[in-house]
Structure 1
């Protein structure tokens, strides 16, 4: 798909996200409409400005947004330019455990790996949930899965592919995946990707989709932007925005986003985890980014949710009276890896 700039945000050209209530109001600018899983994508006629139509619909009281492009967030400044490194020796595999907790993972998919190839949850994944064969971030979801399972042994993963092999996806795809998850809502969901919006306002339809999982703890990476500009969905109300600290867990990582909207932080530098078996990689890698700090926090919450509801587990874990506070990064969640 094509990508273009709208201000300082990336969007899909000519696409506006909305619900059915606004279709008639946008009819004169509409070339086609695709609808599915609770969201409509209006494909605008050639030459029509996406941002102007979005503002017009919002001024009329409708919920609308350009179809923002989202990207995974490893080191440095995120997106497909960064890369993992082979990890030798291999990191320790997840400990054996038994847990009824289900963790949602929206990302590049999860590839076959010795850590989970015989697990029930992996056997339930459909063919469309596997990793892309090529791309600079094809193993991103596989890496995240390993971090979550090492932090919360025995949990099951519900993985859905919303990013391609270069770690790129869009808001419409994420919204549809979230809406489908309502049928079997996870206790915790990890969203290690994000974007800026064209007007720095919250994306309304993405916010609606997350609110549709009221009992699920939502964990999202704050981004590798090295500034305090809100990054979505992390900056949405009700989402735990996770920044990164260095390998010693003492200082903010140089790439991490920060600010009053960031709720928590964890190690984000030189983490090792499961990866693809390809080229110089033997199924394991070392990688850096807020993506992976978010997975550590999601795993810690999922592990604590064995004993209590996930929302309560998250509150206790991030309680400022209990957790060390890092300025502009919130509560530190120590890593056991």
Structure 2
């Protein structure tokens, strides 16, 4: 890109343009067009002088805009984060009690262990799949998130590796950039989003025990996903789905994509904002895949992407519509204070104080507030970062989205999966999703 090289001379960097990575060529022209339209190319700005201050990509982008490059040509490589409601214990424990009584404090209260924050709990109920009714089909739900952890509920119906076009998708495959400095600490505390993907998978399992869950690891437990990796992984995933539909290969089609991550765009008023990301999600809908996305947890009307690409008031356009999902309190009748608001939100589902599974290997360094041995028994208060029991409570639109995804999958399971052309997939998905949207409006 000559224009970028010219700008680099002014700012003191050399653009390093990424090459290749698409894997094996798609078997159909439809899938090939998807890659051509939505495959992102990373451009790394390499400093010419190590003494030069770090590069601010924003003015570089504005120079490119001045030269006529639009959103679909070049954009920032955003960092996406998950959307549970989370706050570190040292922060909330230092808060005066009265703060939990105000409006902002009421939002923060969802983060406290015991009131909606990530907290270990005990569950007596068995794996829902053990008593699930026979289904006409077993929908496939993809969960792009943190890695799936170890849990007794995970069996043959749960996979944590997805290969498309000969490429392993996610952070463990060749699409990811080389890892940076180690993010693990030696404090023994659990990472902020440890167990996030597992918790989501457990919610899908509860809503639709017959579903097959595919975990797509796009972030470590620090909860940071690079947009370029997300786009590339999703582009190859929809290509795999298109090829499978056209070949009649039921083993590689997907039914639902559940997204619990996102970001706030620097220019959300622009109608062309993130044309690539939004268009890629539309491509899933064009081939019959239902996509649900978390609405965000900042109690704001600012558009949170990719959920804000949704338009629940739009008439049918021949695709399965994208659905943005907000969070309800346990009573099912009130919206959780943290849940974002906006005309792009089409559904609200339970998202506060939800119970789901956690990796049984999660056990942080925090110790019980009190413990002692008495008459041969070890007695203690609850250890708030010991999830070896395999279950937890957590809150966030991160979790209302998979509740909706599981609901959609359960409705899909009531009939045989479509076969033949893509229109059959679109008709099934649109009927179910639009029915839910109409129900919300009532």
Shorter chain as denominator, the TM-score bin is 0.7 to 0.9
2:298 matched to 1:225? yes
Q: 1:130 to 1:273 in 2, by over 3 A?
A: farther
Change (3 A) 1:128 1:315: closer
Q: Does 2:230 match 1:174? A: yes
TM-superposed deviation, 1:114: 1.1
CA gap of 1:123–1:104, structure 2 versus 1, over 3 A, is: closer
**Aligned equivalents of 1:245 and 1:92: distance in 2?**
25
Q: Give the Cα separation in 1 of the matches to 2:255 and 2:430.
A: 8
Distance in 2 (alpha carbons) for counterparts of 1:77 and 1:196: 19
Q: Which residue of 2 aligns with 1:193?
A: 261
In the alignment, what sits opposite 1:122? 159
- 8 Å CA contact retained: 1:109, 1:129: no
The partner residue of 1:89 within 109, 112, 123 is: 123
Does 2:283 correspond to 1:212? yes
The answer on 1:290 being equivalent to 2:397 is: yes
Pick from 345, 348, 361: which aligns with 1:265?
348
Unaligned regions of 5+ residues in structure 1, if any? 1-22, 326-337
Matches within 5 A, 1:130-169: 135-169=191-225
Which one has a larger percent strand, Structure 1 or Structure 2? 1
* Structure 1 equivalent of residue 412 of structure 2: 305
Q: Whose helix proportion is higher, 1 or 2?
A: 2
| Aligned pairs for 1:35-114 within 5 A | 35=19, 36-37=21-22, 38-46=39-47, 48-58=55-65, 59-61=68-70, 62-76=72-86, 84-95=118-129, 96=132, 97-98=134-135, 99-114=137-152
Secondary structure of 1:135's partner?
coil
Q: Which moved more, 1:26-35 or 1:243-252?
A: 26-35
Tell me, in whole angstroms, the C-alpha distance in 1 between the residues paired with 2:278 and 2:171: 27
Deviations for 1:17-49, whole angstroms, at most 9, x for unmatched residues? Answer: xxxxxx444233343122444211111244554
Distance 1:233 1:90, change over 3 A: farther
Rounded to whole Å, the distance in 2 between the matches of 1:285 and 1:220 is 22
Cα deviations across residues 176-198 of structure 1 (Å, max 9, x unaligned)? 11012121352210000111011
TM superposition shift of 1:57: 3.8
User: How big is the shift at 1:94?
Assistant: 2.1
Q: Residues of 2 paired with 1:152 and 1:45: CA distance? A: 48
Rg comparison, structure with higher value: 2
Residue 136 of structure 1 and its aligned partner are, at CA, apart by 2.2
Cα pair distance change 1:77/1:41, threshold 3 Å: farther
1:27 matched to which residue of 2? Answer: 5
CA gap of 1:212–1:266, structure 2 versus 1, over 3 A, is same
TM-score calculated relative to the size of structure 2 = 0.62
Distance 2:160 2:344 in 1: 38
Deviates more, 1:47-56 or 1:60-69: 47-56
User: What is the TM-score with the length of structure 1 in the denominator?
Assistant: 0.79
Larger mean Cα displacement after TM superposition, 287-296 or 161-170: 161-170
- Cα 1:187/1:250, change in 2 over 3 Å: same
Q: 1:77 to 1:145 in 2, by over 3 A?
A: same
Q: 1:301 to 1:55 in 2, by over 3 A?
A: farther
> Greater RCO between the two (CA within 8 Å, min separation 6)?
2
Q: What's the CA shift string for 1:218-260, capped at 9, x where partnerless?
A: 1000000101000000001442111111110111101010111
| Shift, 1:105, TM fit | 1.0
Output one character per residue of 1:282-334: Cα deviation in whole Å (capped at 9) or x when no partner.
Answer: 11111000000011011111111223722221111221xx3465xxxxxxxxx
User: Displacement, 1:158?
Assistant: 2.1
Q: Is the 8 A contact 1:110 1:129 kept in 2?
A: no
More displaced, 241-250 or 42-51? 42-51
* Cα distance change, pair 39–175 in 1 and its aligned pair in 2 (3 A): same
Segments of 5+ residues of structure 2 without an aligned counterpart are: 9-13, 23-38, 48-53, 92-110, 112-116, 173-182, 185-189, 242-252, 311-320, 364-385, 416-426
Structure 1 residue 129: deviation in Å?
6.9
Give the alignment partner of residue 203 of structure 1, picking from 274, 278, 283: 274
